[in-house]
Amino acid sequence: MTDFAPAAARTYDVRTYGCQMNVHDSERISGLMEDAGYVRAADADAADVVVFNTCAVRENADNRLYGNLGHLRPTKLKNPGMQIAVGGCLAQKDRGDIVKKAPWVDVVFGTHNIGSLPALLERARHNQEAEVEILESLEVFPSTLPTKRESTYAGWVSISVGCNNTCTFCIVPSLRGKEKDRRPGEILAEVEALAAQGVLEVTLLGQNVNSYGVEFGDRLAFGKLLRATGTIEGLERVRFTSPHPKDFTDDVIAAMAETPNVCHSLHMPLQSGSDRVLKAMRRSYRSEKYLGIIDKVRAAMPDAAITTDIIVGFPGETEEDFQQTLEVVRRARFSSAFTFQYSKRPGTPAATMAEQLPKQVVQERYERLIALLEEITWAENKRLVGATTEVLVAVGEGRKDERTGRMSGRARDGRLVHFAVGDTTPRPGDIVETVITYAAPHHLNADGAPLSHRRTRAGDAWEAGHTPKLPGVSLGLPTIGVPAPLPVVDGCSIS
């Protein structure tokens, strides 16, 4: 808790770009702001403090940020007391350049010092000048920070931060630092606290969850962690993202198959099906190893839904390389995929490689990949028609469509399901069991009345307008002022 809370209840709004880890960071930022006496703005456009939590990975990330900052400039001129803060990966990369390009920004903070935000805002107000603080390494693990959770039924839990890989297309390790692992007891304490509040689903986050334990010398730590979640009362679903194929071990597959609350869903980035391109990417595995992991997962869990990331048009990619990617896609039969057209990221080795491909070549290959993926995902979804499916009703996805009378949520394997409402209307966080009647490439429909509807504590909390707010979990580490965090996924390619 800070000792410099604003005298009046100033309002805040956090705007998030990028991967799941950034979403989780934003929950930490919201927790810090509320601990410091701020309240969330009912009208985001009228907030006293606007915080941008940025991503440096996606194409045109810089233009998007500066465009949004430009839109806020007239508001700032009309209301000089308003403050604008920029954090996240782009802030870590651009540093002091942000206030040079947008001098109406009040605070710039990096990925390693999120916990300093309330102090920096107060200092900027007092000194009437911009505060820029970018640390080069993590001082305090993120879990020491208070967290304002966005959901009553699902939570993100960071198990590690940073990355030890050197993929040539990825700038994240230079912005987030080397991997630092959180102790299992601390992770389980946070998960238990969430479950005690009614949270049903937890996603364990790390840029490379399979290398979890490297810092304390236990190569089997991640599998053990998955099994330990099976002992937590009230926790019904456990997911994780993202694993790295080079570190994937058989004990993790066994833990997934043998731990009832671990979902049979796996997001495992492929990036390319060409061994030559994988080598140029420094991915440290080859296509046959990747497919071998999938074979083992499906042997242990025939119902497993496997998703992936694929980059099209990496420098030097030939038509033959691309055909090899298509062949891996045919053999893997993904249930969905995040697909990306390669674009240069300043500061990455790939940005200076020869044989950068013409945009039209990349676009044409991308369209062929999308067409194949849609064919496969539709066929895989059709196999589920007639199956009974458990659906966790979701916020946003959980709104009733007045035209169709359907609501939406996620099956245990992560698929999106639109389902008909029966005699009672489920709430976000409730569980329904229903029968799939129709399949599309990106979703499933269940048009008959649900077989069952289970009301949950998470649904009760949603109905009451309450989302859990957890204090930081003490790690026995020294803190400097207010603590600090981060996180990310493999290649930070998930949006």
**Residue 265, pLDDT above cutoff 60:** yes
Domain residue ranges in the chain: 11-139, 142-382, 388-463
The pLDDT value given to residue 400: 65
Q: Are 271 and 290 in contact (CB under 8 A)?
A: no
Cis geometry, peptide bond prior to residue 335 (ω within 30 degrees of 0): no
* Burial class of residue 452, CB neighbours in 10 A (0-12, 13-18, 19+): exposed
Q: What is the DSSP letter of 395?
A: T
d(C-alpha 492, C-alpha 172), whole Å: 7
Nearest to 244 by CA among 185, 179, 183, 304: 179
Q: Which strands, in side-by-side order, build the sheet including 452-454? A: 438-439, 444-446, 416-420, 406-411, 388-393, 431-435, 452-454
Superfamily of domain 142-382: tm_1862 like domain (3.80.30.20)
Q: What is the largest CA-CA distance in the chain?
A: 65
Q: Span 388-463: which CATH code?
A: 2.40.50
pLDDT at 446 over 80: yes
Nearest alpha carbon to residue 368 among 406, 334, 336, 323: 323
pLDDT, tens digit, for every residue of 307-330? 999 999 999 999 999 999 999 999
**Domain 11-139 CATH superfamily:** Methylthiotransferase, N-terminal domain (3.40.50.12160)
Supply the mean pLDDT for the chain.
87
Interior/surface letters 199-236, b for 16+ CB within 10 angstroms, e for the rest: bbbbbbbbbbbbbbbbbeeeeebbbebbbbbeebebbb
Banded pLDDT at 472 (limits 50, 70, 90): low
DSSP string over 414-425: S-EEEEE--SS-
- Which residue did the predictor score with more confidence, 57 or 281? 281
Mean pLDDT of 83-104: 90
Full DSSP string of 358-376: PHHHHHHHHHHHHHHHHHH
Better-scored residue on pLDDT, 366 or 150: 366
Q: What is the CA radius of gyration of the chain?
A: 23
Percent of the chain with pLDDT over 70: 88
The more confidently predicted of residues 137 and 489 is 137
CB 52 within 8 A of CB 88: yes
Indicate if the pLDDT at residue 33 is higher than 60.
yes
pLDDT of residue 486: 27
Other CB atoms within a 10 A radius of the CB of residue 480 amount to: 12
Which amino acid would we find at residue 45? D
Residue 485 in this model has a pLDDT that exceeds 70:
no
| pLDDT for res 150 | 77
Handedness of CA 150, 151, 152, 158 (dihedral sign): negative
**What confidence category does residue 39 fall into, taking pLDDT thresholds of 50, 70 and 90?**
very high
Phi/psi for 138 (5° steps) reads: -70, 130
Lowest mean pLDDT of 143-157, 394-408, 481-495, name the range.
481-495
Whether the CB-CB separation of 351 and 344 falls below 8 Å is answered with yes
